[in-house]
Amino acid sequence: MPRSNDDVARVLTEFADLLAIVADDPFKPRAYEKAARAIGGFPDELQDLDEAGIHAIPNVGKSIAEKVRSVLDTGTFPELEELRAQVPSGVRAMTAVPGFGPKKAMVVYRELGIDGLEELVAAARDGRLRGLKGFSAKTEENVLQAVQRAQRDTGRVTIDVATGVAEALLQRLRAIPDVRRADLAGSLRRMAETIGDVDLLVASGSPAAIMDAFTGYEEVEQILARGETKSSVVTRSGLQVDLRVIPNEAWGAAMIYFTGSKAHNVRIREMAVRKGLKLNEYGLFEVESDALIAAETERDVYERLGLPFIEPTLREDRGEIEAALAGELPQVVTLKQMRGDLHTHTDLTDGVATLEQMLAAAAAKRYAYYAVTDHAPNLAMQRMTDEKMLAQRAKLRALQERYPRMTLLHGTELNIDPDGAVDWPASFLEGFDLTVASIHSHFTQSREAMTRRMIRAMENPDVNVIGHPTTRKIGRRDPVDLDLDAVFEAAARTGTALEIDAYPDRLDLRDEHVRRARRYGVRFSIDTDAHAVGHLDAMRYGIGVAQRGWLTKDDVIDAWPLSKLRRFLRKGA
Diameter of the chain measured on Cα atoms:
79
Lowest mean pLDDT, pick from 5-9, 152-156, 228-232 = 152-156
pLDDT band at 381 (very low <50, low <70, confident <90, very high): low
The answer to whether the beta carbons of residues 200 and 255 sit under 8 Å apart is no
Residue 488's nearest CA partner among 521, 456, 450 is 521
Architecture of domain 4-152 in this structure:
Orthogonal Bundle (1.10)
pLDDT digits (tens, 9 = 90+) for 54-95: 887 878 888 888 888 888 888 888 888 888 888 877 787 787
CA dihedral (562, 536, 532, 379) in degrees, to 10, reads 60
b/e per residue, 353-369, with b = 16+ CB within 10 A? bebebbbebbeeeebeb
Coil, helix or strand at residue 183: strand
The answer to whether the beta carbons of residues 244 and 198 sit under 8 Å apart is no
pLDDT digits (tens, 9 = 90+) for 240-255: 999 999 999 999 999 9
Q: Please indicate whether residue 454 or residue 219 has the higher confidence score (pLDDT).
A: 454
CATH 3.30.460.10 domain extents, the chain: 157-246
- Report the DSSP beta bridge partners of residue 245: 202
Residue 541's nearest CA partner among 558, 519, 526, 557 is 526
CATH 3.30.210.10 domain extents, the chain: 259-325
- Other C-beta atoms closer than 10 Å to the C-beta of 286 total 13
What is the reported pLDDT for 571?
A: 84
The answer to whether the beta carbons of residues 527 and 500 sit under 8 Å apart is yes
The answer to whether the beta carbons of residues 162 and 195 sit under 8 Å apart is yes
Asked whether residue 2 carries a pLDDT value surpassing 60, the answer given is no
pLDDT digits (tens, 9 = 90+) for 387-418: 999 999 999 999 999 999 999 999 999 999 99
H/E element holding 446?
none
CATH 3.20.20.140 domain extents, the chain: 335-569
pLDDT band at 335 (very low <50, low <70, confident <90, very high): very high
Architecture of domain 259-325 in this structure:
2-Layer Sandwich (3.30)
Share of the chain above pLDDT 90, in %: 66
Amino acid at 399: L
Sheet with 283-286, side-by-side order of all strands: 277-280, 283-286, 292-294
What is the reported pLDDT for 154?
A: 62
- Report the DSSP beta bridge partners of residue 277: 286
pLDDT band at 169 (very low <50, low <70, confident <90, very high): very high
Label residue 417 left, alpha or beta by phi (over 0 means left) and psi (-120 to 50 means alpha): beta
Quick one: fold of 157-246? Beta Polymerase; domain 2 (3.30.460)
pLDDT digits (tens, 9 = 90+) for 342-380: 999 998 988 888 999 999 999 999 999 999 999 998 765
What is the reported pLDDT for 444?
A: 86
b/e per residue, 426-459, with b = 16+ CB within 10 A? eeebeebbbbbbbbbeebebeeeebbbbbbbbbe
Q: Which CATH number fits domain 335-569: 3.10.129.10, 3.20.20.140, 3.40.630.30, 3.20.10.10?
A: 3.20.20.140
Sheet with 524-527, side-by-side order of all strands: 340-341, 369-375, 407-415, 434-438, 465-466, 497-501, 524-527
CATH 1.10.150.110 domain extents, the chain: 4-152
What is the reported pLDDT for 494?
A: 97
C-alpha separations of 289 from 276, 278, 285, 292, 293 in Å: 10, 11, 8, 9, 11
